[in-house]
Amino acid sequence: MPDSSQNSKPVSPAAVPAQEAADSSNKPGRGPDRRQSVVDRRAGTERRQQTRAQSGYTGPERRSGEERRAATGLERRRGPGRRRSDDRKAAEEGEMTAEQFEFCMAIQTYKKVNKKMYPTWTEVLEVVRQLGYRKVMPRQIKLENVPEPRVFTATEEAA
């Protein structure tokens, strides 16, 4: 029978063998079952901030990530403000031409300056014109009920 000073509720006789089985199930080389403890492990000091001596760890040092990755050039984290945008990554990897990259960056800048998530087609055309694009030849596709806009000539452009 358990001591009543430890536990205010009486323990059923069926629970005693289960408790003894749980205590005896600890295999050699393992510590005590922490689930039986009432101490909240989260309340203590952060174990990752402790030194090897403070934590009692005797195994090999595995927290040397900086030295391990420094020479590879494959660092996952680039530091604050160093993450590349998807457009810049695509351009650097050769998936975009310089013209495509310029257009994407112009649209991104327009969206940022004007605080617009989705520019209208009129606004996109405005950005394209600001990049220096002009209609210099008639279109090659047939668009019904769409008048042909004015085509710029080289002399008009220079003036």
Tens-digit pLDDT profile for residues 73-97: 545 555 566 677 777 777 777 788 8
Range in 34-48, 71-85, 124-138 the model is least confident about: 71-85
Instruction: Kindly state the tokens that stand for 19.
Output: 């408790």
Burial per residue of 9-46, b for 16 or more beta-carbon CB atoms within 10 angstroms, e otherwise:
eeeeeeeeeeeeeeeeeeeeeeeeeeeeeeeeeeeeee
Distance of CA 93 to the CA centre of its chain: 20
- Confidence band of 98 (pLDDT split at 50, 70, 90): confident
Please give the model's pTM, rounded to 2 decimal places: 0.42
